[in-house]
Amino acid sequence: MTNAITERHAHACNLARSGGAAALDFFNRRDTLAVEAKATPQDVVSRADREVEVLIRGLISEAFPEDAILGEEDAPKPGTSGFTWVIDPIDGTMPFLSGLPHWCVAIAVVEGDRTVAAATFAPVHDVLYDAQTGGGFRCNGIRQQVSRDLTLADAMTAIGASHRTPPADASGVIERLLLAGGAYYRNGSGAMMLADVAAGRLAGYYEPHMFAWDCLGGLLMIAEAGGCCESFAMADMLAQGGRVLAAAPCAFDALFEICAD
């Protein structure tokens, strides 16, 4: 555990709270925001997303000017330090704009082919999830681990979906999950649902395709909490995203089989 990682982890936690405070201000006056559709009418962006990302990018560049930045709403910034910040200023824009609490600020730090630090802040609930490689997972400062005995039958399992995958793929997984005795959950924020797997509130999470800014932090949290995550190539995930499957240890194999088709 190097000082360089520890410093960035602490900064990520502060950034998530700062970005969350700015996002919460927009949330409280969301009726004034102009909203644009991106790929589909369900894939939306607002001025809040863009301005919160600008704020976070600026604070990263001030503290670590040689670090690279990859964010959802703006072009990648190259770096020379070997560290890359991966940020989603508001994960769960649809719930955000609908007045629902299921949205968050998600930040991860990547070094080489591994995620080394993560912070996800849910402002409406005032909950900070964070993790550092080798340092465990915490929820509001309290270290937590997933249950070693949790199965698909013991808790809900989150299934993500987007315009990037056919609806039949998600519906087939949900059907097989229900037939296996599990229960389906979705709240509109993949980053929050992954954090809730780490916190032991969900048995697992599956989505056919996620972008790096939505999933890297949550996957580190689950791994540091003692959960299981399907492996992936970091370069591919950063470039184009990929499949995400993670769960409590006793639920992982069953969820993998359900998602195999």
Domain spans in the chain, listed from the N-terminal domain onward? 3-144, 156-259
- pLDDT value at position 74? 85
Q: What are phi and psi of 170, to 5 degrees?
A: -70, -40
Instruction: Tell whether the model's pLDDT for residue 89 goes beyond 50.
Output: yes
Q: Report the SS3 class of residue 62.
A: helix
Determine whether domain 3-144 maps to CATH 3.30.540.10. Answer: yes
The predicted-structure confidence for 201-220, as pLDDT tens digits, reads as follows: 999 999 999 999 999 999 99
**Whether the Cβ atoms of residue 202 and residue 192 lie closer than 8 Å to each other:** no
225, HSE (Cβ side, Cα atoms, 13 Å) = 38
- Give the pLDDT confidence of 133-163 residue by residue, as tens digits: 999 999 999 999 999 899 999 999 999 988 8
Inform me whether the pLDDT recorded for 38 exceeds 70: no
User: What span, in angstroms and rounded, lies between the C-alpha atoms of 261 and 258?
Assistant: 7
Output the pLDDT for position 72. 86
For residues 261 and 64, give the distance between their C-alpha atoms in angstroms, rounded to a whole number. Answer: 43
Using CA atoms, how far apart are residues 43 and 94, in angstroms rounded to an integer?
A: 8
Residue 238 pLDDT > 50, yes or no? Answer: yes
Amino acid at 208: P
| Whether the predicted model's global pTM rises above the 0.85 cut | yes
Taking the CA atoms of residue 61, residue 232, residue 211 and residue 11 in that order, the dihedral angle to the nearest 10 degrees is -30
The CATH number of the domain covering residues in 156-259 = 3.40.190.80
